[in-house]
Structure 1
Amino acid sequence: MRTSIRSSVRACVRCRVQAASLCHASSSSSSSSSSRPTSPPTNHYDFFPEALPDGPPPRGHFPIDQRALRREFLRLQAKAHPDLHPADLKARAEATSARINEAYKTLSNPLLRAQYLLSLRGVDVSNDETLRVEDPNLLMMVLEARETIEEAQDEAELEQPRAENDERIRASEAVLEDAFARDDIDAAKREAVKLRYWVNIKDSLDAWEKGKPVVLEH
């Protein structure tokens, strides 16, 4: 009987030792996994994994959920604020904050977003002054929009022009969505140039003041 009891005790001790070893190994593995450094962002989309989980086109979409992007941006900036970091890490926090700001500014603006995506493909449409839209109908629409903004007497008169221009921007985003999905760089480039007109009109509408001349950049 005593031999049987001793055997049972030894078996129980062995089980406890094995369990403790497994627990320690699991804890070490978990600690190692949690402390493993994450890859640094390689493009603007990498800063916003929640709002933009699929990354840039063609895998991701060109249109962006602006509210989701804004929410994640504010959370990131709250964590990266230099005042929340010790003195020896403030410079790094400031650099990170600046990169987050630049990424958000670029992606939240459809024109800057299109230009950025094209720049990733080696195409610079933001500084190429030779890129112009020669469609006479489009140019006429731009001139009419300028006259409407300049002649408006109050904000109410700009409600319809603003709605019409917002629809043009949405339509342009749809064209860019298709172009980037097909990786059709020429089509994306042409539409980005056209979008530049609509965004300039939007900026003029947002900055409207009675009697203030309107300057639309081409």
Structure 2
Amino acid sequence: MSSRHMVTERRTFSIAAAQSSQLNKAYQTLLSPLLRAEYILAKQGIYEDENEKLEDPEFITEIMDIRQEIEDASDDETLTRLSKKNKEKIDLTIGQVSQLIQDRNWKAAKTASTRLKYLLGIDKAAEKKIHHY
């Protein structure tokens, strides 16, 4: 095989790998309601700011309380109950985000997607602790 063919093959492989990576990222974005919302918001020029804080003290308190309940939970039954309750909130919030995006209410959609991010964090914490037992 000539060196020209090897270069061409490497270039083809590199392009295919890059396209595969982009396709996988797009697929993951479509699968995740949060990533999907963030993508749509970004297309509207509204970006997620890691340092941005929630302005809803009631929601922040609720999140902190739920996280504490998860941390204090000492059995699977309690964790499962907390997780189920949180998943219901996640489903509700996903519906809200979808509706707000459909209504083109970008500011409210961003706020709702930030709330979703916090709820998903609770879900991960609960799942991690459930699998710890």
Q: TM-score per shorter chain, which class?
A: 0.7 to 0.9
User: Which amino acid in structure 2 is aligned with residue 107 of structure 1?
Assistant: L
Partner of 2:21: 98
Describe how 1:43-58 pairs up with structure 2 within 5 A: none
User: Which amino acid in structure 2 is aligned with residue 199 of structure 1?
Assistant: L
For residue 205 of structure 1, report the CA deviation from its aligned partner.
1.4
2:63 maps to which of 108, 121, 142: 142
**1:133 paired to 2:61:** no
**1:205 paired to 2:110:** no
User: Which has more helix, going by share of residues?
Assistant: 2
Q: Which runs of 4+ in 1 moved over 6 A?
A: none
- Gapped regions of structure 2 (runs ≥ 5): 1-8
Q: Distance in 1 between matches of 2:14 and 2:127?
A: 35
Q: Distance in 2 between matches of 1:98 and 1:155?
A: 38
Provide the identity percentage: 28
Deviations 1:71-111 (A, max 9, x none): xxxxxxxxxxxxxxxx4532222112101211122222222
Q: Distance in 2 between matches of 1:145 and 1:158?
A: 11
Higher Cα radius of gyration: 1
1:119 maps to which of 23, 39, 42: 42
For residue 176 of structure 1, report the CA deviation from its aligned partner.
1.2
Q: Distance in 2 between matches of 1:120 and 1:134?
A: 24
For residue 123 of structure 1, report the CA deviation from its aligned partner.
0.9
TM-score norm. by structure 1 comes to 0.51
